[in-house]
Structure 1
Amino acid sequence: MSKQKRTRRSVTIATTVAVVAAASVASLSLAFADGDSAADDGVERASKPTVILVHGAFADASGWNDTAARLRGQGFKVRAVANPLRGPDYDAAYLKSQVQSVKGPKILVGHSYGGAVITNAATAIPDVRALVYIAAFVPEEGETLGRLMEQHPDTSVPPLPTAPFPFAHPDGSTSTEVMLDPAEFHDAFAADVPAATSALMAASQRPIAAEAFGQPLKNAAWKNIPSWALVARNDQAIGPDLERFMAKRAGARISEVDGSHAVMVSRPDAVTNLIKQAYRATL
């Protein structure tokens, strides 16, 4: 090979290496563009806490899908628990049993009624670093959810279009469950969610035991664990003023967003960012 050809080949290789290096830098920049910095990623992914997502009434764990995908993409381990919706005591015990095998630090996230569950359960779950409330109940010890809503009525929020129905126990006794009227589910629960999606949510909603709203809470974990809260300004299930009252009383760091009660579906970005705030503040 002539000296001139070797020189041209060396220039070509050097140019290619430079282009690849520039592309790699650009890719890394994009990887951190959604809010995670290189410094944040410097913490080993394995050391990040497990985020435990707890849904509320008239929903199921799939409502967390977009939030879970974002968190997993940023190195968090995630578990979305199927909440039994039997009452704060029963559900707190079930949550504890579900996450007792999860080692290391945890962040508990509750939506709606799920906020009462994590509040009641967190004191019995080791290594809970933070509580995050998403358009959620944040009750005090001894309070019931029904009483909270009676004491803090919001004239801008119409009564939920609930439909109670009995169900049978194996011994022949009956109890009552409550679900939302599917025809009114969109406006009451998920007004900013596409109609086709909210129709599927209505069809797959899980009813809650009526007695869950009358069971006094035994523990208020926010008294000892740092908390964050996202208020959905357009919530038509829990009044935004009630959400603010409960969050302020708990000393939570409060963020607000324009969103319906199903804010984890319509605004997973805001939900994910709040969870990341809790993570960074409790490192």
Structure 2
Amino acid sequence: MRRPTVRLRVPTLLATLTLVAATGLAGPGSTAVAGPSTSSAGKPTVVLVHGAWADSSSWNDVVPRLRHDGYRTATPDLALESVAADVTQVRAVLDSITGKKILVAHSYGGIVISNAAAGRTDVLGLVFSAAFVPNEGDSIASLGAGFVASDAFHHLAFTGAAFASPAYIAPNLFRQYFAQDLPPARAGLLNAAQQPLNFPIVTTPSGPVAWPSTPSWYAISAGDRMIDPAQQRWMATRAGARTVELADASHAGGITRYAAQFTALVGRAAHATTR
């Protein structure tokens, strides 16, 4: 992975985020576990795990559709400080829910759910949207070897030491790299919800993963400017995932613009693993 260059001063970044929030673009708050602790009509609970530079509000287009289809959902907010802490957070949510679960992830969340589900019998399936799917020992950096690196990594603003602290994507370039297929207002909501990713996460190796023994599904975002679509196809194929391809989806497009199609994929995973 190419090393990014800091292009935006942190005070400017934080002032921009404050302005965006103040003008009403901030998304609604999220709850770690949404709704009752057990699902209905024999359906598994769907636990949705967000990625880097995001929070659980990134699922705001998917959760209502899942609820309409009769699923209870949980949307934990990750601290994005370390892989280990995020995995522990998701495992705690899984432990708090009675019954079977489907784990769903976007982006970096794919590493988290792959680790959190390892060795569990209550997780029936894994569903990914434009997400990393590691094998044990893989990191975000190593998974990108041989694929096109995102230019967004040249536009990070670190909150401390470069390459050793949490970093944001420059807000003025967020839509260009993360959500280019979304209207400015919708991309603005995602931009305002940015949570900084602690950069050492990029080189942290994955622990044991679930996908060798847990069925998986993958929605490839073919217009993604954060994770090379070719890398997504390779990871999905290696994991033996059942795939759909969203022809022009951005990194965020698969769970926003294509939320109906992605929700249907989650439903197929739930049906296939509970029939």
TM-score normalized by structure 2? 0.80
Distance 2:86 2:195 in 1: 14
Alignment partner, residue 25 of structure 1: none
Distance 1:161 1:95 in 2: 30
Alignment partner, residue 187 of structure 1: 176
Paired residues for 1:125-204 under 5 Å: 125-149=120-144, 151-154=145-148, 158-167=151-160, 176-204=165-193
SS in 1 for 2:182: coil
Distance 1:125 1:90 in 2: 18
Q: Write out per-residue CA displacement over residues 58-86 of structure 1, whole angstroms, 9 at most, x where no aligned residue.
A: 11111101210000001001111101112
In structure 2, do the counterparts of structure 1 residues 163 and 95 end up closer, same or farther at CA, with 3 Å as the change threshold? Answer: same
Alignment partner, residue 244 of structure 2: 255
Alignment partner, residue 272 of structure 1: 263
Q: Write out per-residue CA displacement over residues 31-82 of structure 1, whole angstroms, 9 at most, x where no aligned residue.
A: xxxxxxxxxxxxx943100000000001111110121000000100111110
Q: Write out per-residue CA displacement over residues 138-191 of structure 1, whole angstroms, 9 at most, x where no aligned residue.
A: 011101111211x13227x534343242359xxxxx950121111111110001
Alignment partner, residue 229 of structure 1: 218
5+ residue gaps, structure 1, are 1-43, 169-173
Distance 1:197 1:62 in 2: 12
Alpha-carbon deviation of 1:98? 2.1
Paired residues for 1:235-246 under 5 Å: 235-246=224-235
Q: Write out per-residue CA displacement over residues 98-156 of structure 1, whole angstroms, 9 at most, x where no aligned residue.
A: 2211010100001000000000110254400000011100011101111211x13227x
**Count of matched residue pairs:** 233
Alignment partner, residue 206 of structure 1: 195
Q: Does 1:220 align with 2:215?
A: no
Kindly indicate which of the two structures has a greater share of residues assigned to helix.
1
Distance 2:119 2:78 in 1: 17
SS in 2 for 1:184: helix
CA contact (8 A) 2:137 2:207 kept: yes
In structure 2, do the counterparts of structure 1 residues 91 and 75 end up closer, same or farther at CA, with 3 Å as the change threshold? Answer: same
Asked which structure has the greater CA Rg, the reply is 1
The aligned amino acid for 2:222 is R
TM-score normalized by structure 1? 0.78
Among the aligned pairs, what percent are the same residue? 38
Distance 2:77 2:238 in 1: 28
SS in 2 for 1:46: coil
Q: Does 1:100 align with 2:90?
A: no
Alpha-carbon deviation of 1:203? 2.1
The alignment yields a C-alpha RMSD, in angstroms, of: 1.9
The aligned amino acid for 1:273 is A
Could you list the structure 1 runs, at least 4 aligned residues long, displaced by more than 4 angstroms after superposition: none
Distance 1:117 1:107 in 2: 14
Distance 1:72 1:134 in 2: 19
Alignment partner, residue 112 of structure 1: 107
Distance 1:63 1:159 in 2: 19
Alpha-carbon deviation of 1:230? 0.5
Distance 1:266 1:135 in 2: 13
Distance 1:125 1:164 in 2: 37
